[in-house]
Amino acid sequence: DGSGYGPVESVSPHCSSLLNKTIVDPCARDNYAEIFSQGEPRVVPDVYQASYTAEKLLFLQRLQIRAKLIVPIFLGDRLWGLMMVHQCQTIRNWKDSEVDLLQKLAVQVAIAIRQAELFHQTRTELAERMRMTQALEQARDEALAAAKVKSEFLAVMSHEIRTPMNGVIGMTDLLLDTPLNAEQRHYVETVRSCGSTLLDLINDILDMSKIESSKLELEAETFSLQQCIDEAINLLQPKADEKKLYLNCYVSSDIPSRVIGDSARLQQILVNLISNAIKFTSVGSVMVSVLSVETVCLEPTESSHKPTYRLAFSVRDTGIGIPPNKQDRLFKLFSQVDSSISRQYGGTGLGLAISQQLCEMMGGRIWVDSQVGKGACFYFTVCMHLPEPEELTTSKSSVVSSTVIADT
């Protein structure tokens, strides 16, 4: 670096030590390092025969130097420093073996320096990585704590808001049973419709907060699969009739009539999918199907020795369809295919995200097959048990046509 600082030395007892001293060569020039950048050693048997200036000889004399050998130290292509051997008081005819030995020592010094640099670099990187890991862990802990607080807040607030909303909707129902003129009835029906929409949103937020905080628990009860589907369809039949859509269901003949699971959550998935299908369909039909059943596990669970069956459902519509490059947004929170969809049809995007979470909690999954202008078909699977005396018997289907898919 041009400082003239000697970091290490080995010196005979009768010679002066230069360690930790700054040696300023009065004859050094800016191109001094360039001479050694070629990699060649400098061999001087007698400084008084080397054509040095008087000032240079005086400098060497103060250092007791009579002969010297200088070998450059390289780190890769970079000149790092010089290794010097001085013969004090007397001349020295340097042997080729001595020059070769010093060059080899310079290589070993370069290796040691490089290893030291790598060790320092590695230690610095490890320290930085540890610092980043600790920062990430702290950020993760803070995020988890914030998420927990948020989920608990949403759960509490959703519950507190839902209670008075039920009162508002109940009072509008009572008000609709009283004598009202056409204008008043329209106002009350609008209040009830808006209240129901708000209550649905509150319920979705409550469900999502429970799922995020791992507080949503599934029930295990015996129920009629056909009745569960019929109730979901009957709930949404008025909306389909209003748009003059054909809404019906098909249950494959190999589907069990009764199963053990959470009927309310299964119905919630169906309602979400059927409601979306009706919302995005102007002409045609919405068809709900239970397509197939398969045994997926014969191992006993903690609560039951009954085998587990995977049921496959589909909800098909003849609506506007979904572009393939935008289908990955469907199951994300508060996501719409595009902003115009939200403005035209409304909705928060919570329904499909919740449906996906519920399917996964019930050991299944959900996916979509759609083309723009040709409608969409949402498929989902869930796992259920059968009651003790129940076998895979046939169920009556309400439609004569069916579609078979493979759960791949």
Tell me the chain's radius of gyration from C-alpha atoms.
42
pLDDT tens profile 25-40: 655 555 667 778 888 8
Q: How far apart are CA 306 and CA 114, in angstroms?
A: 67
Q: Calculate ∠ Cα 337-342-344, nearest 5°.
A: 115
Residue 338 has pLDDT above 60, yes or no: no
What three-state secondary structure class fits 294?
strand
Helix (H, G, I), strand (E, B) or coil at 44: strand
Provide the angle, in degrees to the nearest 10, between the axes of the packed helices 182-212 and 350-361. Answer: 40
Whole-number percent of the chain with pLDDT over 70: 84
Which residue from 112, 23, 113 is spatially nearest to 68, judged by alpha carbons?
Answer: 23
- For residue 237, the model assigns a pLDDT of 92
Cα separation, 289 vs 405, in Å, equals 11
* 1 pLDDT tier (thresholds 50, 70, 90): low
Q: What is the pLDDT of residue 394?
A: 44
- pLDDT for res 274: 94
Other Cβ atoms within 10 Å of 293 Cβ, number: 20
Residue 80 carries which side chain, given as an amino acid letter? Answer: W
Host H or E run for residue 68: strand 65-75
Q: Considering only residues 394 and 273, tell me which one the structure prediction assigns the higher pLDDT.
A: 273
407 — pLDDT class (breaks 50, 70, 90):
very low
Helix residue ranges, H only, 280-361: 339-345, 350-361
Read off the pLDDT of residues 115-140 as tens digits, 9 standing for 90 and up: 998 999 999 999 999 999 999 999 99
User: Model confidence over 152-211: pLDDT tens digits?
Assistant: 777 677 667 778 888 888 888 899 889 989 999 899 989 988 888 888 887 877 777 777
Q: Which of 80-94, 145-159, 353-367 has the lowest mean pLDDT?
A: 145-159
pLDDT digit string, tens, across residues 287-324: 999 987 777 654 545 555 567 888 999 999 999 888 88
Alpha helix stretches (DSSP H) within 65-95: none
Asked if the model's pLDDT at residue 401 lies above 50, the reply is no
As a whole number of angstroms, the distance between CA 370 and CA 359 comes to 20
Q: Kindly list the distances between the CA atom of residue 344 and the CA atoms of 11, 239, 354, in Å, as whole numbers in the listed order.
A: 90, 17, 22
Mean pLDDT for 339-354 is 66
pLDDT on residue 408:
32
Cβ count within 10 A of residue 297: 12
Closest CA to 383 of 325, 316, 301, 328: 301
pLDDT at 251 over 60: yes
Q: How many CB atoms lie within 10 A of CB 54?
A: 7
Distances (CA, A) of 93 to 98, 105, 325: 10, 19, 81
